[in-house]
Amino acid sequence: MKSIYAGLLASFLLTSCVSSKVHNELKKNYDELLQNHDQLNGKYGDASKKLTQCEEDFTDCQERAKKLQSDTSRLGFEVRKMKRNYSDLNRSYEFLLENNNALLSNSARENKAMLERLQELDFRLQDKQDSLDSERAALVELNTQLEQRSKRVRELEKIISKQDSVVRFIKNTMSNALRAYEGKGLTVESRNGKVYISLENSLLFPSASWTVNDKAKAALGVLAQALADNKELQITVEGHTDNDAFNGKTMIKDNWDLSVMRSTAVIKALLENKGVDPKRIVASGRSEYLPLVKNDSDANKAVNRRTEVIITPDLSELNRLMEQLD
């Protein structure tokens, strides 16, 4: 356009002669036109940019419109679904409303029954608590008794241990005192908390007799001295026979009589030592009924024919504790 104006101006200047005033006016107009042309070009560039931005915005709006249409379709589906749910809820509400009175009535009856049940359980719980309190008191009492009993048991164990020590001491004392006779028809052993000194009848008496021979009196004298030195000991003398029948023609009629006579004969020999208290001695005849071995040979019968001096430590303290434990 600028070239067109220039051409027109040149043609006009060549074909006609104009005054300087007109020339200046035309030049002024020409400059204004150029200035307007530049302004219009600038506005055209701005308008082009705006047009491009508008086209981009339009495209974005179209995409958003499509998305809005999709969201509208989805929301419409959800609205219809919610309406259906609302309709279902409304029907359920009406059903519940219709049955509310019946439910309230049933609930009242159930609550009453539950309260009655709770009261019953409370009474039973109180009874149980009372029973537990009673049992707890009984348990405390029982624990006290058990503690006392345990204390007595411990005391008893100490006494039994002491008793065992005493028995060992007595056995050792008697073994040392009678060492010269052990293996010669005399044995010393401890059983059941007692010391047993067993003397075969061959060491003590002639056959079918109850008279202590002189050799045996020496052994019994040593035993009597040991018993005299330990005055707290209790002594039982038991006579034993084999199962051969005794056919005596004197006052001794059978093995019972013979076993007792031999027991008392040994006791009399022990009492020759004045230090042995007769109150500490018990005579016992067991006849043939407590054999050590079977009476099936002469050797075994000789073993069964014996007199046993049974020494028992003082058990008074032990018996006292046993009575307390009963």
- Band (25; pLDDT cuts 50, 70, 90): confident
Greatest mean pLDDT among 33-42, 166-175, 266-275 = 266-275
pTM, 2 dp: 0.52
Residues 265-283 pLDDT 10s: 999 999 999 999 999 999 9
Residue 269 is predicted with a pLDDT of 94
> Where in the chain are the domains?
178-325
Phi–psi pair at 316, nearest 5 degrees: -65, -45
Q: Are 203 and 184 in contact (CB under 8 A)?
A: yes
> In angstroms, what CA-CA distances link 47 with 58, 61, 285?
16, 20, 151
Residue 309 is predicted with a pLDDT of 95
Closest CA to 267 of 207, 326, 212: 212
Q: List b or e across 293-315, with b for residues whose CB sees 16 or more CB atoms inside 10 angstroms.
A: eebeeeeebebbbbbbbbbbbee
Residue 322: pLDDT over 70: no
Residue 305 is predicted with a pLDDT of 93
Measured distance CA(81)–CA(299) in Å, rounded:
117
Max Cα-Cα span within the chain: 210
**What's the CATH code, domain 178-325?**
3.30.1330.60
Q: Between 316-325 and 20-177, two packed helices, what is the crossing angle to 10 degrees?
A: 140
Which value, in Å, is the radius of gyration of the alpha carbons in the chain?
Answer: 68
Measured distance CA(235)–CA(68) in Å, rounded:
123
Q: Are 282 and 276 in contact (CB under 8 A)?
A: no
* Strand pairing category for 194-200 and 306-312: antiparallel
- Band (324; pLDDT cuts 50, 70, 90): low
> In angstroms, what CA-CA distances link 261 with 57, 223, 276, 303?
145, 19, 20, 19
The conformational region for residue 240 under phi > 0 = left, psi -120 to 50 = alpha, else beta, is beta
Q: If 0-12 CB within 10 Å is exposed, 13-18 middle and 19+ buried, where does residue 99 land?
A: exposed
Q: Are 305 and 255 in contact (CB under 8 A)?
A: no
